[in-house]
Amino acid sequence: KAGVTQTPRYLIKTRGQQVTLSCSPISGHRSVSWYQQTPGQGLQFLFEYFSETQRNKGNFPGRFSGRQFSNSRSEMNVSTLELGDSALYLCASSSTGTSTVTQYFGPGTRLLVL
């Protein structure tokens, strides 16, 4: 099986712009979670989608949003970028998202905001 893929792998944006990141889960997986990884805050949960519905949301401002399509692919959008949004954004997929199944992580998208 192909692993979780994320595109693009690297992005450079300027403050005030918006960005969309994409995550393609492993075939058959219906749950996609997003995480922000920074040196200062570590790995922080953004949100999770299951069968096109947001099932859980972390403590991030409304500038961070996401969606999931019928093929389980997910996108994450950040509007009005700030310098502090520079981070590695990881997505993870699993069949159900519950604790009994393994979550598989993608390679991440590294976002740099100038």
Partner 1 sequence: AQRVTQPEKLLSVFKGAPVELKCNYSYSGSPELFWYVQYSRQRLQLLLRHISRESIKGFTADLNKGETSFHLKKPFAQEEDSAMYYCALHGSSNTGKLIFGQGTTLQVKP
Q: CA 112 to CA 90: how far, in whole Å?
A: 14
Task: State which of positions 60-99 bind partner 1 (CB under 8 A).
Answer: 90, 92, 94, 97-99
Q: CB nearer to partner 1: give 56 or 80.
A: 56
Q: CB nearer to partner 1: give 17 or 103.
A: 103
What number of residues does the chain have? Answer: 114
Of the candidates 88, 93, 96, 95, the one whose C-alpha atom is nearest the C-alpha of residue 113 is: 88
My answer on whether omega of the bond before 8 falls inside 30° of 0, hence cis, is yes
CB of 57 vs partner 1, minimal distance in Å = 9
Site residues for partner 1 per CB under 8 A: 3-4, 31-33, 35, 42-45, 48, 50, 55-56, 58, 90, 92, 94, 97-100, 102-108
